Structure 1
Amino acid sequence: MANFVLVAGARLGSWAWDEVVPYLAAASHGVHPLTLSGLAEKQGMPARQQTHVQDIVGEVEGQDLGDVVLVGHSYSGIPVGQAAERIGDRLARVVFVDASVPADGEPFISAWPDGGTMMRASIAENGGFWPVAPAAHYKGHGLTDEQITRILVGSTPHPGATLTEPAALEQPLGNLPATYIKCTLGDPEPSDDVAKLLTSEHWQLIEMDTGHWPMLSQPRELAQILMDIAAK
C-alpha cells in the first residue's frame, strides 16, 4: 500500500483533505495530510519557502515513510516538487493537483501575468502575508455555497516569503515520476511550463471536469484517481 502525503495550496491546512482521507484510508493506504508552517493550526510559526520544503521532507523522514505518493495542490506544488527530489528512494510518485510547478531559481509569483507585482504589493500592505481571498474568488469552480464557506472559514493569511523566494532544484523536474491532474473547469489547458514537462516520458496527464479545489468539489473522484496512480 502507498503512503499518501497530502499538501493543500495557499491559505489552506490539512483540513482541506478531510473528505479525501476516508476513501484512501478505507483502501488501507497510509494517509498523511500535512499543514505547512504558518498556516491553519500552525499559524504564527515563521515560514519561508525552504521551511515548507523541510516541513514535507520532515514528515516523510520523521514518519519513516516508504512508497510515498507526494501530492501537492496549487501553491504547494512548489515545495512538493522540491521535496520530491530530496526524499530519494522513498518516493513512488509525485502528483501535482492543478498545481504550480517549481523552476530552479524562480519564485511562485514569477508565473503570474504581471510577474507578481500586484501580489508583492498586497503582501507588503498586509504585514508580510498574502490575505485570504473573498468568496467571489471561488465562484465558477464547481463548489457549493457551503463548500465555499468552509474554505473561507478555514483559510488563513499565507506567509509572503514562501511565495516570493526562489525554488532550488538539484535536477530537472522532468526526471521525476510525476502525474499532473488538470482541473479543466474554466481553465482547460495546462500552463506552458507544465505542458513542457508533460513531454517527458516520466510524466502523465489526467484531467478532472471540475474546478481548482477538487478535494472539496469531487473528493471521491480525486481519491479514486490517486489510488489508481498508486496502483500503477
Structure 2
Amino acid sequence: MTAFILVSGVFTGAHVWEETAARLTAAGAEVHTAALTGLDGARPAAGARVDLETHIADVVAVIDAVGAAPAGRDVVLVGHDYGAHPVLGAADRRPERVARVVCLDTGMPQDGVPALTALPGQELRARPAGPGATSGTDGELAPPGRDAWHRWGSTAGVPDTALDRLTALAAPQPLGTLLQPLRLTGAVAAVPTTGVLCTGNGASIEAVRRLVDFGDPALRALTDPRVTFFELPTGHWPMLSCPAELADVLLRAASGEGHRLIPADRAEPPAHLRPFLLEVPAFPRERHDHVDLHLPDAGAPRPAVVFVHGGPVPAGAVPTPRDWPTLVGYARYAAAHGAVGATLDHRLHHVAHYERAAADVAAAVELVRAHPRVDPDRVALWFFSGGGPLTADWLGAPPAWLRCLAATYPVLAPLPNWGLADSRFRPADALAGAGTLPVVLTRVGREAPEIAATVEGFLAAARECRANVEVIDVPHGHHGFETLDPTDESRKAVHRAMLSVLAHLTA
C-alpha cells in the first residue's frame, strides 16, 4: 500500500486536496494531508515565529505518525508549488522513511535558496503579524483576491465554484516561510523524485530538457534514472481542475512510472549545438565585451542585424549563446548578404531577469551602432524564443534607426508560471506604439501550445491595431527548427525571413 502525504502551496490548506484524496483512497491508497502552521487551522503559539523550518517540522510530524503505523507501506510526499520546499526539507530529515517525493508544478527547491526565488515578479506586500513582530520576516503576505490568483499561476480549468472556495478559504502566508532559505544535508538526493508539470501554466518536459541540455551542473541530477516526469494539460491547480487525472498521475508516479530525461549521448550534441541548417562561409569576427560582430566583405558602413537569443539560459552554460550554431549561422548569413551580423550574450538566466537582459540588449545595440563598419541609421533587431518579451520595449517606441524587428518562434507574452503578468514585457500591449515598423515573425507549426497561444494573442493584437506584421510559417517545424529540422521547408523559411529583413534595412 502507498501512503500519500499531500502538502499544499501558498495561501492554501488541506481543502484543495479533497477530490484528489478521495480518488486516491478509492484506488486503495492511504492519504494524509499536512496541516501547515499558520495556514491550515494550526495556529502558532503566542509570540512564536512561523518560518520554513516550522513547516518542515509539520511535515516531519506527519511522516513520523505514518511511520509509526503498521509497516509495509511506501510513503510518498507530494508538494504543490511552495509546498515542495517543506516536502524536500522533511524528506531530507527522514530519507529512510520516504519512498518518493513528488513536486507538483514547481521547480526543484535548492539548498540555501528561499522559496521566494521561485515566485518571480511577486511583490511582498506584507502586513505585520501582530504587536510582537520585530523583523522583516515576521509579517504575513495577504492572500490574493478572486481575480488575482493568476499572479500565482494559471487558473485554467478551475471551475468558478472552486475558485470562489479557494478565495474564501485562503489564509495569509507567513512571510518567514518564503524568505527563510531551505537547508538540506544532501540526504534527500537518494530519494526518488517525480516532477508533475502543468502545461497550461507554462511548464513542459521539453522545456526542462532544454534547460538540462544547456549544461547547468545544478540540473544534472534531473537525468538520474530515479527522476521521472509527467505532464498535465491544465493550469497550476490540477487538484481543482482535473483531480481524477492528477490522482492517476500520482499513483503512476508512486509505482516508478514516468518520462525520464536520458543524458545526451556524447556522440550526439544537444539540439541547440547541432549544425545550422545552411552552409554559410565564415566571415571576419570581432569580439567586443559581450558582443560579436561578423563583418561582410565591404569597406563602407553597412546595415546591421542584431540577433538576440532566448532563454532563460543558465549562467554556467558553455558555450554561451553568441557561439551557438543557430545564432552564428544567422549572423554569417546576414554577412553573406552584405550586412553586419551581431550576436550577443545577455543575462537572462532566470525569468526574473528580464529587466537586466533588456539593459544588456540596449547596451549591445549601442555598441553595434557605434562601430565604424555599421551604418547607425539602418539596424534591425531579431529575437528568438524566450527573448520574445524583450521586443516590447522596441515595439512600444521604435527609434528612427530601427528599420525592422524580427522574431523567430518567439514567446510573445510571459507564461503564467513566470509571475510577470503585470510587467512591461508584453509585446501585444506595446504594438499600438509600433506605427509602421515592419515586423517579420517566423512561426512554427509544431510549437508548444502554451507558446503558440502567445503568438496568436500577439497576431490578434496586430490585426486590431493594423500593425505591419509579416508571418512566415514553417508548418512542420519545431521550436529551434534551424538545428532540429534541416529540411527544404526550413531552409526556405530562413532564406525568406533574411531577405525580408534585409529588404527593410535597404529600403
TM-score w.r.t. the length of structure 2 is 0.42
1:132 matched to 2:159? The reply is no
Q: Which of 188, 213, 225 lines up with 2:203 in the alignment?
A: 188
Q: After superposition, what is the alpha-carbon deviation per residue over 1:19-69, rounded to whole angstroms, capped at 9, x for unaligned?
A: 111111112211001221111312455421111011111111123264101
**How many aligned positions are there?**
227
Amino acid at match of 2:254: A
Amino acid at match of 1:135: R
- Partner of residue 55, structure 1: 58
Change (3 A) 1:129 1:208: same
1:86 matched to 2:110? The reply is no
CA contact (8 A) 1:7 1:33 kept: yes
CA contact (8 A) 2:8 2:16 kept: yes
Change (3 A) 1:112 1:41: closer
Q: After superposition, what is the alpha-carbon deviation per residue over 1:72-91, rounded to whole angstroms, capped at 9, x for unaligned?
A: 00101011011112212211
Q: SS in structure 2 opposite 1:188? A: coil
Q: Which of 221, 228, 231 lines up with 1:207 in the alignment?
A: 231
Amino acid at match of 2:234: T
- Partner of residue 108, structure 2: 101
Amino acid at match of 1:67: D
CA distance in 2, matches of 1:75, 1:197: 21
Q: After superposition, what is the alpha-carbon deviation per residue over 1:170-199, rounded to whole angstroms, capped at 9, x for unaligned?
A: 117654300000011041346759965422
- Partner of residue 159, structure 1: 174
Amino acid at match of 1:217: S
The unaligned stretches of length 5 or more in structure 1 are none
CA distance in 1, matches of 2:22, 2:249: 14
1:68 matched to 2:75? The reply is yes
- Partner of residue 216, structure 1: 240
Q: SS in structure 2 opposite 1:40? A: coil
Change (3 A) 1:55 1:158: same
| Percent identity over paired residues | 34
CA distance in 2, matches of 1:113, 1:64: 36
CA distance in 2, matches of 1:15, 1:23: 14
CA contact (8 A) 1:175 1:200 kept: no
Point out the more displaced range, 194-203 or 30-39.
Answer: 194-203
CA contact (8 A) 2:114 2:182 kept: yes
Structural RMSD (CA): 2.2
Q: After superposition, what is the alpha-carbon deviation per residue over 1:148-170, rounded to whole angstroms, capped at 9, x for unaligned?
A: 10100111001110100010011
- Partner of residue 25, structure 1: 25
Q: SS in structure 1 opposite 2:223? A: coil
CA distance in 2, matches of 1:8, 1:113: 19
CA contact (8 A) 2:115 2:181 kept: yes
Q: SS in structure 2 opposite 1:206? A: strand
Q: After superposition, what is the alpha-carbon deviation per residue over 1:71-115, rounded to whole angstroms, capped at 9, x for unaligned?
A: 00010101101111221221111000102432111111123446x
Q: Which of 249, 269, 273 lines up with 1:225 in the alignment?
A: 249
CA distance in 1, matches of 2:219, 2:146: 30
The unaligned stretches of length 5 or more in structure 2 are 130-138, 257-507
CA distance in 2, matches of 1:85, 1:50: 12
Q: How far did 1:131 drift?
A: 0.8
